[in-house]
Copies of this chain bind each other. A is one copy, B any other.
């Protein structure tokens, strides 16, 4: 049925295409610049982050910087794609498998919760934080963020559709609607737990979405 390896390749191909011509060292440099840029953008916003600040903080030369990023617009776009890649890759850990069983969804919620507990709820969801901070900064940036969420929604839907095709979920289960609810529960739950610095809001939020998912289980 579903093929996790092919799925991973499809989902991360955007970033691979961008990095394809780079050597391993070049890819590492590019990743370091993106990590630094993400941190600065989260701290100071798009308007408050200049290419020169990123260059200094990453410790690279001006010519290296322009080699990887033509301008600020390219840099912001790549920061968003890079963070979306990282979030999508979190969903392809071997222990998680495809999100196409009820157990896998419970494991997924537990994994995300443990990640947040492990960091003391600091920083919240990396992609969600970028979305919350940059969504209104420009139409282009909003569209890049929307692409990131759409990739996650596709990943969720594929697992849910497989569950319906297999007969685990009833015919009246809507994979689109369930994917929205699961992703919203994750984003809202993380923001509450991040602000309140306790796990209960995230756990309770996941539990509501998972209970609804499980309410569509067939009897077999």
Give the residue of B44, B133, B186, B195 whose beta carbon is less than 8 angstroms from that of A146. B195
B196 touches A150 (CB 8 A): yes
Per-residue interface assignment for chain A, residues 180 to 214, with 1 indicating a CB less than 8 Å from any chain B CB and 0 otherwise:
11011111110110111100111011011101100
B48 touches A177 (CB 8 A): no
Complex formed: what's the CA distance from A220 to B176 in Å?
Answer: 33
Number of copies: 2
Chain A contact residues: helix, strand, loop or mixed = helix
Which of chain B's residues have a CB closer than 8 A to the CB of A77? none
Could you show 15 A-B contacts with beta carbons less than 8 Å apart?
A43-B47, A45-B48, A47-B48, A131-B191, A142-B195, A142-B197, A180-B192, A181-B205, A183-B188, A184-B184, A184-B202, A186-B188, A207-B212, A208-B209, A209-B209
- Give residues in A with beta carbon < 8 Å to B: 42-45, 47-48, 122-124, 128-129, 131-133, 135-136, 142, 145-146, 149-150, 176-178, 180-181, 183-189, 191-192, 194-197, 200-202, 204-205, 207-209, 211-212, 215
